[in-house]
């Protein structure tokens, strides 16, 4: 069986690896370079603190892989399990947190509701008097997306996957409604399956198979700051839910900070968007961070920053299914595609080889759920 994977990001390479492991002859076609899309711009956050069952399941299964990634793939991905700390400034948000924790505990996630003083023990610089409550899960954390992509890429190649960079897929060929291959800038390729892992370009690749996928590229920014006082290396990924700012420790006391503070969120052209920070956003982000913890203040320096694209669906959940015969989508991961890539890769391989997913029940992640009005709900979206 032959499969062409369209897109050399982490979802594409994980899918390619697990497909090859199941005996499929796989070619990854990447129009640019490996990791040149969203993967190379991600924050690396890994969490199971979601409220939707399918998101929790994808993350939990993925965390099992992240935990033993170095052993299995021979690559140290700088995986740090310092937890995610969600912070509430209002009673309303704190009430929601209590509900979230109950749901998560039912789904097997070891999150807990914390009073502000205990949140301060997790994140020592926290202005605890500004918060009503928090949630925390010690098994959440973050890793380096570049290293993880390299790990999957090396393992995929070793398993027999061919990776072609600088090759753009321009059309999907079908015969009698079933996929038979793709056209590319370097000629045509035959395939029994085409897997769409094109990230922010996913709707364009879907169109080639006659699909109208509701996956919209939205710009998000991050910056690395050298704060006035160092952020401890074991501080959690800290998310002020009512304010919108988040930060996590980087190396040497530095932190990666981000947030989306406006309702303006225009759809972007993935080939033509601004990949550097907006200066006013960077200043605003540091000001917001300074309102959360005492690490950040007037002495904070901006070391570097960048912008990338979330591939957003209307319900912030991905589309993972064989949508037309031979055409599998693994798209629309918003801010979760890195963390959920291992389980997604496994599911993609099952969809292709077995005709159905068994690792995680992805039956809710169909493309037509939006038309049917069966959208999913997630209570912990990080914008
Ligand atoms: C600022 C920011 C922070 C984020 N933080 C996190 C986080 O903390 N945790 C997390 O889990 N996720 C995070 N994400 C989301 C994460 O980056 C994505 O969900 C994930 O990288 C998606 O991977 P992918 O392989 O699907 O897509 P991509 O990495 O975008 O890869 C798609 C690839 O397809 C290629 N391509 C497109 N069209 C074609 C074509 N026609 N032919 C050939 N190749 C094509 C592109 O060049 C690209 O390389 C963040 C994203 C951003 C922007």
The pLDDT profile of the chain, 383 residues, written as one tens digit per residue, is 999 999 999 999 999 999 999 999 999 999 999 999 999 999 999 999 999 999 999 999 999 999 999 999 999 999 999 999 999 999 999 999 999 999 999 999 999 999 999 999 999 999 999 999 999 999 999 999 999 999 999 999 999 999 999 999 999 999 999 999 999 999 999 999 999 999 999 999 999 999 999 999 999 999 999 998 999 999 999 999 999 999 999 999 999 999 999 999 999 999 999 999 999 999 999 999 999 999 998 899 999 999 999 999 999 999 999 999 999 999 999 999 999 999 999 999 999 999 999 999 999 999 999 999 999 998 887 88
Helix 341-353 to helix 145-158 angle (10° resolution) is: 30
Ligand 1 centroid distance, CA of 35 (Å): 7
Specify the pLDDT at position 382. 81
Are the C-beta atoms of residues 65 and 342 closer than 8 Å to each other? yes
Specify the pLDDT at position 381. 79
Specify the pLDDT at position 378. 87
Specify the pLDDT at position 1. 97
CA-only gyration radius of the chain, Å: 20
Specify the pLDDT at position 106. 97
Ligand 1 centroid distance, CA of 261 (Å): 22
The rounded Cα 178 to chain-centroid distance in angstroms is 30
Specify the pLDDT at position 172. 98
Ligand 1 centroid distance, CA of 42 (Å): 8
Element spanning 246, H or E: strand 246-249
Kindly tell me the burial class for residue 359, based on how many C-beta atoms sit within 10 Å of its own C-beta (0-12, 13-18, 19 or more).
Answer: middle
Ligand 1 centroid distance, CA of 235 (Å): 26
Assess whether the C-beta atom of 38 lies below 6 angstroms from ligand 1: yes
Q: Which atom of ligand 1 lies nearest, measured to the CA of 199? A: 27
Neighbours of 211 (CB within 10 A): 18
Q: How far apart are CA 376 and CA 54, in angstroms?
A: 9
Residue 262 token pair = 């406006």
Ligand 1 centroid distance, CA of 263 (Å): 23
Which residue's CA is the nearest one to ligand 1's atom 37?
198
Ligand 1 centroid distance, CA of 8 (Å): 9
Assess whether the C-beta atom of 344 lies below 6 angstroms from ligand 1: no
Are the C-beta atoms of residues 199 and 332 closer than 8 Å to each other? no
Instruction: Tell me the pairing of strands 112-114 and 178-184.
Output: unpaired
Ligand 1 centroid distance, CA of 282 (Å): 22
Residue 293 token pair = 């913890």
Length of the chain: 383
Q: Write down all domains in the chain, each with its CATH number in brackets.
A: 2-70+144-214+314-369 (3.50.50.60), 81-140+217-312 (3.30.9.10)
Q: How far apart are CA 203 and CA 217, in angstroms?
A: 9
Best of 338, 341, 348, 378 for a ligand 1 pocket test (most atoms within 8 Å of beta carbon): 338
First to last CA, the chain: 39
Buried b (16+ CB within 10 A) or exposed e, 66-95: beebeeebebebebbbbbbbbbbbeeebbe
Place of tokens 């493309």: 367
Three-class SS state of 221: strand
Assess whether the C-beta atom of 100 lies below 6 angstroms from ligand 1: no
Assess whether the C-beta atom of 336 lies below 6 angstroms from ligand 1: yes
Backbone angles phi, psi at 289, to 5 degrees: -60, -35
């Amino acid at each position: 069986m032959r499969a062409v994977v369209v897109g050399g990001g982490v979802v594409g390479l994980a899918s390619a690896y697990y497909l090859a492991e199941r005996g499929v002859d796989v070619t990854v076609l990447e129009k640019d370079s490996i990791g040149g899309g969203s993967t190379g711009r991600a924050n690396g956050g890994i969490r199971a603190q979601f409220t939707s069952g399918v998101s929790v399941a994808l993350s939990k299964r993925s965390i099992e892989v992240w935990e033993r990634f170095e052993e299995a793939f021979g690559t140290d991905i700088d995986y740090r399990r310092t937890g995610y700390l969600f912070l509430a400034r209002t009673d309303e948000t704190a009430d929601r947190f209590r509900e979230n924790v109950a749901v998560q505990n039912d789904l097997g996630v070891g999150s807990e509701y914390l009073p502000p003083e205990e949140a301060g023990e997790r994140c020592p610089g926290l202005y605890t008097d500004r918060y009503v409550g928090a949630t925390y899960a010690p098994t959440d954390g973050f890793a380096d997306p570049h290293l993880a992509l390299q790990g999957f890429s090396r393992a995929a190649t070793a398993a027999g996957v061919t990776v072609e960079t600088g090759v753009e897929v321009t059309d999907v060929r079908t015969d009698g409604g079933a996929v038979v291959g793709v056209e590319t800038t370097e000629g045509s390729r035959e395939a029994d399956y085409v897997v769409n892992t094109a990230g922010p370009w996913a709707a364009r690749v879907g169109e080639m198979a006659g699909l109208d996928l509701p996956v919209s590229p939205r710009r998000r920014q991050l910056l690395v700051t050298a704060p006035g006082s160092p952020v401890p290396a074991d501080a959690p990924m800290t998310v002020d839910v009512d304010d919108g700012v988040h930060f996590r420790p980087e190396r040497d006391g530095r932190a990666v900070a981000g947030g989306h503070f406006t309702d303006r969120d225009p759809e972007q052209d993935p080939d033509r968007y601004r990949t550097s920070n907006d200066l006013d956003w960077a200043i605003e982000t540091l000001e917001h961070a300074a309102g959360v913890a005492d690490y950040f203040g007037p002495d904070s320096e901006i070391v570097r920053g960048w912008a990338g694209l979330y591939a957003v669906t209307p319900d912030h959940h991905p589309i993972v299914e064989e949508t037309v015969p031979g055409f599998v989508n693994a798209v629309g991961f918003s801010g979760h595609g890195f963390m959920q890539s291992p389980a997604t890769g496994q599911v993609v391989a099952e969809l292709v080889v077995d005709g159905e997913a068994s690792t995680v029940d992805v039956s809710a992640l169909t493309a037509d759920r939006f038309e049917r009005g069966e959208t999913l709900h997630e209570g912990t979206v990080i914008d």
